[in-house]
Amino acid sequence: MPTIIAHGDADGVISASLILRVLGEQKAYIYFTSPARLRDTICSSISGKSVLDIVYIVDLSGNRQSVYASAIYDKAVWIDHHIWKIDFEVPKNVEIYFDSDSESASKVVAEYFGIESQLVDIANEIDKNNVQSEDAEFFRNLIGSIKKEFSGVQLAFNLRKLAKELALEGLDGVKNKEEYKELVEKYRTWLKELDERIKDVKIFDVNGRKVAVLKTITDLPIYYITNKLKEHEEAPFDYICVMTYKVFKNKSMTKLEFRTHTNKDVLSLALKFGGGGHRVASGATVLEHIDVEKILEKISELNDEGADNAEN
């Protein structure tokens, strides 16, 4: 039975649903994860399986460790739209198909399998933070509401359930479910309450660059913060950083999300913390407590376009 490992966001859920459509009535194991936990998810996905035929890994960029881990399957297919750095030998049973210029991983998945779907347009709008349609707005809020309401096993269950419903019933079927309508309405109310939290943002000047930093201990929707900060009296901001502090296995952990209003290369900043993503939207997870001064220090090392001045 095939295995699907996808990023646990809107693009990842849509990507997984598209693969389920291709598989038809064939069942699949489905896992949703984050870039920081990707290798562990790949390793845990093999538990209890007597046959490891094929795994599709979507909307997640790999490194040497995670790519090699995926090679335990008879075949591993990576389909992605993030920027990859392949400075290692790829195992023969691993296929890496990516287009870093694509608006979404869902679009790359559709191209790989030669299929068409309105869901691709929705993924494009959401992943580029350029939501124009009511469908994209609904789905973005739905994913946000599920991630807010559930965690752990329940979160994984609900994301899998949604991916399967999208594959079988399409977006119209999903939108007509009362449980989802209620979740979205509750989430919209909560978003309005976030406006007060955004007032806690701290503004810094780093070599003439405007930097906005928001610290939190709970996950916040980065797209909403980025968009609301456009209304700030000091906007636009060259660098936006949301720092989420958590405890993982009794150790401090800092989740970093980087965005920009002025087209700065925030990927270069994320790479300094071992992260990845896109040129104008990236992030990293660091297994230690990172303070604001460290962020400002790394920004000061970047040139005007955001690229690193140093060779490394």
Distance CA 22, CA 229 (A): 40
Scanning the structure block, which residue is given the tokens 């300094």?
272
Dump the DSSP string for 155-219.
Answer: HHHHHHHHHHHHHHHHHHHHHT-HHHHHHHHHHHHHHHHHHHHHTT-EEEEETTEEEEEEEESS-
Distance CA 184, CA 188 (A): 6
What topology is assigned to 199-300 in CATH?
A: Diaminopimelate Epimerase; Chain A, domain 1 (3.10.310)
Distance CA 54, CA 220 (A): 34
Total-model pTM: 0.89
- CATH number for the region 3-183 comes to 3.90.1640
Sign of CA dihedral 11, 16, 19, 25: negative
- The answer to whether the 3-183 and 199-300 domains have the same CATH topology is no
Beta-bridge partners for 5: 31, 57
Verify cis geometry, omega within 30 degrees of 0, for the bond prior to 236: yes
Distance CA 202, CA 14 (A): 35
Residue 105, H or E segment: helix 105-113
Taking only the tens of pLDDT, the chain with its 312 residues reads: 999 999 999 999 999 999 999 999 788 999 999 998 999 999 999 998 888 999 999 999 999 999 999 999 999 999 999 989 899 999 999 999 999 999 999 999 999 999 999 999 999 999 999 999 999 999 999 999 999 999 999 999 999 999 999 999 999 999 999 999 999 999 999 999 888 888 899 999 999 999 999 999 988 999 999 999 999 999 999 999 999 998 877 888 999 999 999 999 999 999 999 998 889 999 999 989 999 999 999 999 997 655 554 333
Over the range 85-101, which residues count as b (16 or more CB within 10 Å of their CB) and which as e? eeeeebeeebebebeee
Each domain of the chain, given as residue ranges in start order, spans 3-183, 199-300
> What local confidence, expressed as pLDDT, does residue 17 receive?
98
